[in-house]
Chain A
Amino acid sequence: MKVVRALWDSWEDGAVIRDVDTGRYLDRSRLHHINFHGSRFAVRGPSITPRPPQGQPVVAVLAHGVADYRFAAQAADIVYVTPQDIDDARAVVTRLQAAQEQVGRPGPPLKIFADLLVLLDESWPAAADRRARWDELAGEPLTSDAEIFVGSPAVLAERLARWRAVGLDGFRLRPGSAADDLVAISRGLVPELRNQGLLPRVHEGATRATLRERLGLGRPANRYAA
């Protein structure tokens, strides 16, 4: 990640000048060798691609334990975690805060997203029924590293609201099936969350917002800029 992030910065914004008088397309003082030498990579750089619109694209890491938390604190913008219940969620948030302090994380704090595998239906029995059918088909019970939620969009919305209150920034929902659960998320869950004020009615700002802007991450300064 150190190499990748350095490469994203290796062209400063505004490196392309198209100066017809001097025949210069680039301002070469705004391109930088990264000269990275590590135990696994040696990369001189710069990148061949100019700095992207977000400066640094959003980096996310799925983390299951303390070592992962430390890596996420050093390298990522978003960390996906897999708490099993609300107490666990609280504990994970505390551990992630500690990891960020430990590594002396620069820049904005990690955005913490909890992963949930969701099977949604009008009612709990209908959703539970589907899970049972899947278990039977597969010949073994459905398992996941993330908590499995089975029930209605309304109940899920309440659960998300409670979990959020302990310090989570967001959620990554893994739909059990694209055909049923993805549709249930957009048609059932999203309106519920809007009603509870947990999702903006319409995306604030323009439809053109970058992902970083949407996440409130801001555009990072370039390490090479004078």
Chain B
Amino acid sequence: MTSSEPKPRKKQVILAAGFPHGSPWIAWSDPESRSQIDFSSISYAAQAAEAGKFDFFMLAEALRQREHKGEFYDLEISGRHHGLTVLTALAAVTDHIGLVTTSSSTYNEPYELARQLSTLDHLSGGRAGWNIVTTSDPQSGVNFRRGGYLPHEQRYERAREFVAAARTLWDSWPVEAVVGGQESGRFRGDPAAGSYRHRGGQFDISGRFSLPTSPQRYPLLIQAGDSADGRQFAIDTVDVVFSMYADPQAGRAFHADIRARAIAAGRDPRSIRILPGSQCILGDSVADARERSRVIARQQITPQNAIARLEQVWGRDLSGYDPDGPVPPVLASDEPGAPRYAGYTAGGRQPPAIAREWYERAQRKGLTIRELIIDVTLRHTFLGTPSQVAEQIDEAVQSDAADGYVLTGHTTSVGLDEFVKTVVPELQERGVFRTEYTGTTLRENLGLPAPAGPAPAGWEEPGEPDRG
């Protein structure tokens, strides 16, 4: 962003493209839905989002093949790549769009992850982002040497220290350390460049970081996690919050909470962007979009899937129930189910509490099992014609229900094509969305200041005598 540009009159909408490979948001049975593994379908999706001038392309993460009732869960799309590796390949076939990985602070190590993110930032010319998650699936530990799992508070304690350690690493090369001059015969102007030490309760590491400072210094930092600990971590640490409050009313309440927390912590609340995950369903009219939403929801939540998801929360076998029939009551004997994974539920809440809440919801709204699961899982937030959807998004953003959205199509690869073709021009017409990328880095495109970083020892102001 050049500061000489006139300030836009209206708050600008941020748009990100999600590429979830393992969620019910994808209707894999739709013949249009492509592979989530072939690179051609991933690059297609990233390039489509870039053609739509989206801020970033984002990959979710899972570290374990899910199971249900002692068997592999076979009802939803699954199988996924290592996100950072895919994004590094995407850096070569895109020019402007941000590339955001979701990576766990619980099952990674700071040195390794900081290095991979730095590589992505270098290779993409400053387009890297990191969605920091603490991994809510307690079963993932079975695939890791450390095994076991950390209690909830300790996961965020580790996350805080993880980010602090990563920043220490990213700061370890003074910016002007790479001399690489033929005359000097030295590659590093400062022979100590890269030396670091981080000491804390979770990590005690020291050594040499192997990469010079990357274009953004730190990747864009994003957080997804909804508990009080998670929100506080966001305030203290990140640039963007990825939330699940797509509904505008819930979004405004979440926005207000983040704002209050920021003010209490002495942070300018405008420095945090909030992006809920959402889906748009387009049609020739509202009625048409509603009907499409109904059809798509039924592709996303199949009858088998509805029962399985209910079982995960109820914690008992419900295979005898009719998915199009009433929701069974919660029994005193119902055990908290195996891993909760019916969407990301608010932190700390246990399945029995969720089950009771869902049961009441079904009663109140008169929902069948399948309708309930659709209601609690999906977020078809914006429905209507392209211009109506653009208006809804604009209004939501202007009224601080969000700063923008992480959108996912309901089909892999091609799911956002229609949005890019029809809604993006409407948003541009309204003057709330870019027509060209104005910055070079992801941070610049989001209008975020470059991280200052600490003044390293031996720092020399520009203009000092040549170091030849």
Residues of A within 8 A of B (CB): 11, 15-16, 18, 20, 22-28, 31, 40-50, 137
- Which chain A residues border B142 with CB–CB below 8 Å? 42-44
Which A-chain residue is minimally distant from B79 (CB atoms)? A50
Per the bound structure, the CA–CA distance linking A43 and B78 in Å amounts to 20
Does any Cβ of A come within 8 Å of B88's Cβ? no
Per the bound structure, the CA–CA distance linking A201 and B142 in Å amounts to 50
Per the bound structure, the CA–CA distance linking A23 and B307 in Å amounts to 12
List 11 extra interface pairs beyond A24-B304, A43-B142, A43-B144, CB under 8 A.
A16-B79, A20-B29, A25-B76, A26-B74, A27-B74, A28-B72, A28-B74, A31-B72, A43-B145, A45-B143, A49-B81
- Which chain B residues border A16 with CB–CB below 8 Å? 79
Q: Which of A20, A49, A50, A137 contacts B82 (CB 8 A)?
A: A49
The 6 A-B residue pairs whose C-beta atoms are closest, nearest first, are A44-B142, A23-B304, A28-B72, A23-B302, A26-B74, A28-B74
Per the bound structure, the CA–CA distance linking A44 and B147 in Å amounts to 10
- Which chain A residues border B72 with CB–CB below 8 Å? 26, 28, 31, 46
Does any Cβ of A come within 8 Å of B466's Cβ? no
Given A23-B303, A25-B76, A137-B185, is A47 in contact with B65 using a C-beta cutoff of 8 Å?
yes
**Smallest distance from the beta carbon of A81 to chain B beta carbons, Å?**
27
User: Which of B78, B80, B303 has the most CB atoms of chain A within a 10 A radius of its CB?
Assistant: B78
Q: Which of B37, B73, B304 contacts A22 (CB 8 A)?
A: B304
* A25 and B65 contacting across the interface, CB-CB below 8 Å: no
Which B-chain residue is minimally distant from A31 (CB atoms)? B72
Residues of B within 8 A of A (CB): 28-29, 37, 62-65, 71-82, 142-145, 147, 185, 302-305
Per the bound structure, the CA–CA distance linking A40 and B74 in Å amounts to 31
Which A-chain residue is minimally distant from B37 (CB atoms)? A50
* B185 and A23 contacting across the interface, CB-CB below 8 Å: no
* B82 and A24 contacting across the interface, CB-CB below 8 Å: no
Given A46-B65, A48-B79, is A24 in contact with B143 using a C-beta cutoff of 8 Å?
no
* A42 and B145 contacting across the interface, CB-CB below 8 Å: yes
Which A-chain residue is minimally distant from B302 (CB atoms)? A23
* B143 and A44 contacting across the interface, CB-CB below 8 Å: yes
- Which chain A residues border B71 with CB–CB below 8 Å? 28
Which A-chain residue is minimally distant from B76 (CB atoms)? A25
* A43 and B82 contacting across the interface, CB-CB below 8 Å: no
Which B-chain residue is minimally distant from A34 (CB atoms)? B143
- Which chain A residues border B74 with CB–CB below 8 Å? 24-28
**Smallest distance from the beta carbon of A27 to chain B beta carbons, Å?**
7
Which A-chain residue is minimally distant from B143 (CB atoms)? A43
Given A43-B143, A50-B37, is A23 in contact with B79 using a C-beta cutoff of 8 Å?
no
- Which chain A residues border B37 with CB–CB below 8 Å? 49-50
* A18 and B145 contacting across the interface, CB-CB below 8 Å: no
Per the bound structure, the CA–CA distance linking A49 and B37 in Å amounts to 8
Which A-chain residue is minimally distant from B144 (CB atoms)? A43
Per the bound structure, the CA–CA distance linking A47 and B72 in Å amounts to 12
**Smallest distance from the beta carbon of A139 to chain B beta carbons, Å?**
11
- Which chain B residues border A15 with CB–CB below 8 Å? 79
* A18 and B65 contacting across the interface, CB-CB below 8 Å: no
Given A18-B28, A18-B29, A49-B82, is A23 in contact with B75 using a C-beta cutoff of 8 Å?
yes
Per the bound structure, the CA–CA distance linking A18 and B142 in Å amounts to 27
**Smallest distance from the beta carbon of B127 to chain A beta carbons, Å?**
24
Q: Which of A25, A41, A42 contacts B75 (CB 8 A)?
A: A25
Per the bound structure, the CA–CA distance linking A48 and B304 in Å amounts to 22
18 contacts between A and B (CB under 8 A): A18-B29, A23-B29, A23-B302, A24-B304, A25-B74, A25-B76, A26-B72, A26-B74, A26-B78, A28-B71, A31-B65, A31-B72, A43-B142, A45-B65, A48-B64, A49-B37, A49-B81, A50-B37
User: Which of A15, A16, A41 has the most CB atoms of chain B within a 10 A radius of its CB?
Assistant: A16
**Smallest distance from the beta carbon of B366 to chain A beta carbons, Å?**
25
* A25 and B28 contacting across the interface, CB-CB below 8 Å: yes
**Smallest distance from the beta carbon of B78 to chain A beta carbons, Å?**
6
Q: Which of B75, B79, B305 contacts A11 (CB 8 A)?
A: B79
Per the bound structure, the CA–CA distance linking A16 and B79 in Å amounts to 9
Per the bound structure, the CA–CA distance linking A26 and B78 in Å amounts to 8
Which B-chain residue is minimally distant from A17 (CB atoms)? B74
**Smallest distance from the beta carbon of A133 to chain B beta carbons, Å?**
12
User: Which of B74, B77, B82, B145 has the most CB atoms of chain A within a 10 A radius of its CB?
Assistant: B74
Per the bound structure, the CA–CA distance linking A1 and B288 in Å amounts to 55
